[in-house]
Amino acid sequence: MKKTMVALSIGALLAVSLAGTATAAENSAPEFAPPAIAGGGGSGYAPPGGGWGPVSQSNTSIFGSPGWTVGYSYTSRSDASPIHASAKHYTNKDGTNPGPEKWSEFGAGTRGQSGPLAWGNALATPAIKFKSINVLGAIVDWNH
């Protein structure tokens, strides 16, 4: 009887121990986290004083087709710094050749959105650049 009780006690301890290990393993498993930027885009910089900042390349590319268009939007991280943007696109929306690259300007505030810009049959990475309209610079988040 004593051996049976010891065996049952050891079995119970082992079961509790294994259950604790499973719970610890489940708790330490990494959780799924969605990407920070849905779709494509990135961050850019509008330098103080009105000059154009560096070109910001998207974190994704677009595999276009005849008739394809793309729209850009941006939001300044500073409510005190209105921004002007210029976005890359192509000139031949409908043909099989996308045509030459073109930059179109849009926006004049802390937020802006372009209309649909021709992309066409281009396999390329969207890009955008920013300039501040006043003496303050700003970090700008954008997407396409």
Q: What is the pLDDT of residues 96-138, one digit of tens each?
A: 999 999 999 999 999 999 999 999 999 999 999 999 988 889 9
* Predicted local confidence at residue 30, as pLDDT: 42
117 close to 89: Cβ distance less than 8 angstroms: yes
Q: φ, ψ for residue 18 (rounded to 5)?
A: -65, -40
Rounded alpha-carbon distances, angstroms, from residue 8 to 19, 21, 87: 16, 20, 73
Q: What is the DSSP secondary structure assignment for residue 46, as one 8-state letter?
A: E
Q: What is the pLDDT of residues 50-62, one digit of tens each?
A: 899 999 999 999 9
Residue whose C-alpha is closest to residue 114's, from 124, 102, 100, 123: 102
Q: Which domains does the chain possess?
A: 41-143 (2.60.120.380)
Q: What is the pLDDT of residues 11-43, one digit of tens each?
A: 443 344 444 444 444 444 444 333 344 579 999
CA dist., res. 18 & res. 23, Å (int)? 9
